[in-house]
A and B are shown apart, each in its own frame.
Chain A
């Protein structure tokens, strides 16, 4: 189970039996629109506040994922989740509606893989038969909390990122059809002294590199073990830094495809998102919507999702602190040919 210093290698590989991705209108105009389960036309979702809209999306994602798994919410033993709002309220309130025993976690934008790793661990060790991992973010509620009011006319630098409005949920089960979760690497907090909250990519890139190298070291594999290694929300600036850092550390990252969810979700030509997407929902909806479909179709065989998070707060920023970064990696494997054809 424990492999190396900070990784879990699942011998009884838990299955990612179902997942759901819910997004807002802006993401619905991006290149991955066809892969999302629900696209809302109104970012308020007819709710009274952005916060309520975020919570509603989270509940929707959880419900769709549970329904798709062919089970009822009573059969889900635990719900592991978190989000970006203070006291992770979106998750807490969603858990109130779902009434599933709940563990709230916070890893900022790395929460997607943090929750999936924990849910997988529970299932792999017999701690649960079904576990739900879910996370959400909303552009307006995140901007409100972390930066300026959404309608405030300040100029954002090109390194700034656009918080994804959406929610992603996944049901992990002992058995069933779907991609399996092969391993997970829990990241360390890495702080390279970046203080600019409009340059989150640069703040998180070293953490992503640390987790990726730790994963290879612990599992004794190289980048070529995976068809695709995807970071959570480093966006253009952070991703190019990560690429250079990996190169410097002698990791032959060019042997695989190395991409970033924050660079996949929006159309840079048509959408004003500066460096790219960010937020808990960024890696969640790209993984649970887009990448999972590719795994199911067999277009991808083995992928490593490295969700990245920045563990800062507006208060810490004003007090002159730097931005600590973190990254958690989860390896997903497509079903083998026999498994797929056997079921069809």
Chain B
């Protein structure tokens, strides 16, 4: 893939790309992955603790306890975003803080905060889905395709 990209460039540009690459600071993929795994896992652990609390003390059943759990995680994420903490966590944890539901909440809250100066409707409401919109689009499209496959291969079953 990298070679394909380079082919469009002139020889001087190709040479420069190699030079520039040699000056790029090294990033440890392993350390970054471990951090992401650890932090993502931590978020899930906190989520599971909250869920168990709802089951044991809140009187929710196992399936429904997920709903208030997600709501609480979203609330914590939005709170940390507003306090200017989540972006710093994100720099450290990478995908670990981006992949769970808290990352989705952060993407919506951060764009909403940013759009505030442009008004409630065109600023906050329109910008809210600037980053999260693609997740919803592809989620819906994927669900539609899966449903279609099920309909074709599993008729009546």
Instruction: Determine whether the beta carbon of A149 is less than 8 Å from that of B24.
Output: no
Task: Return chain B residues, CB-CB under 8 Å to A155.
Answer: 32, 90-91, 93-95, 98
- What does DSSP make chain B's interface, helix, strand, loop or mixed? helix
0/1 interface trace, chain A 148-160, chain B, CB 8 Å (1 if under) = 1111111111110
B69 beta carbon closer than 8 Å to chain A: no
Contacts between the two chains (Cβ within 8 Å), count:
96
Which of A48, A49, A152 counts the most B-chain CB atoms under 10 A from its CB? A152
Which of A144, A151, A159, A193 is close to B24, meaning CB atoms less than 8 Å apart? A159
Which of B14, B20, B103, B113 is close to A194, meaning CB atoms less than 8 Å apart? B20
A202 beta carbon closer than 8 Å to chain B: yes
A189 beta carbon closer than 8 Å to chain B: no
Measured CA separation A31–B41 after assembly (Å)? 39
A279 beta carbon closer than 8 Å to chain B: no
A240 beta carbon closer than 8 Å to chain B: yes
Which of A156, A191, A202, A205 counts the most B-chain CB atoms under 10 A from its CB? A202
Which of B16, B97, B109 is close to A206, meaning CB atoms less than 8 Å apart? B16
Instruction: Determine whether the beta carbon of A153 is less than 8 Å from that of B86.
Output: yes
A50 beta carbon closer than 8 Å to chain B: yes
Instruction: Determine whether the beta carbon of A150 is less than 8 Å from that of B23.
Output: no
Task: Return chain A residues, CB-CB under 8 Å to B94.
Answer: 155
Task: Return chain B residues, CB-CB under 8 Å to A151.
Answer: 81-82, 84, 86-87, 106, 109-110, 113-114
Instruction: Determine whether the beta carbon of B25 is less than 8 Å from that of A149.
Output: no
Q: How many residues of A contact B (CB 8 A)?
A: 33
Task: Return chain A residues, CB-CB under 8 Å to B95.
Answer: 155
Residue of B nearest to A203 (CB): B20
Residue of B nearest to A158 (CB): B25
Measured CA separation A194–B24 after assembly (Å)? 13
Task: Return chain A residues, CB-CB under 8 Å to B82.
Answer: 151
Task: Return chain A residues, CB-CB under 8 Å to B109.
Answer: 151
Q: How many residues of B contact A (CB 8 A)?
A: 37
Task: Return chain B residues, CB-CB under 8 Å to A144.
Answer: 114
0/1 interface trace, chain B 67-90, chain A, CB 8 Å (1 if under) = 000000000000001101011111
A152-B90 CB under 8 A given contacts A159-B24, A193-B9 = yes
Interchain nearest-CB distance for A252 vs B (Å): 20
A299 beta carbon closer than 8 Å to chain B: no
- What does DSSP make chain A's interface, helix, strand, loop or mixed? loop
A241 beta carbon closer than 8 Å to chain B: yes
Instruction: Determine whether the beta carbon of A192 is less than 8 Å from that of B27.
Output: no
Which of A50, A51, A150 is close to B87, meaning CB atoms less than 8 Å apart? A150
Which of A149, A157, A202 is close to B20, meaning CB atoms less than 8 Å apart? A202
Task: Return chain A residues, CB-CB under 8 Å to B88.
Answer: 272
Task: Return chain B residues, CB-CB under 8 Å to A159.
Answer: 24-25
Instruction: Determine whether the beta carbon of B81 is less than 8 Å from that of A193.
Output: no
Residue of B nearest to A240 (CB): B23
Which residues in A have some Cβ–Cβ distance to B below 8 Å?
48-51, 144, 148-159, 191-194, 199, 202, 205-206, 236-237, 240-241, 244-245, 272, 275
Which residues in B have some Cβ–Cβ distance to A below 8 Å?
9, 12-14, 16-17, 19-20, 23-25, 27, 32, 81-82, 84, 86-91, 93-95, 97-98, 103, 106-107, 109-111, 113-114, 117, 131
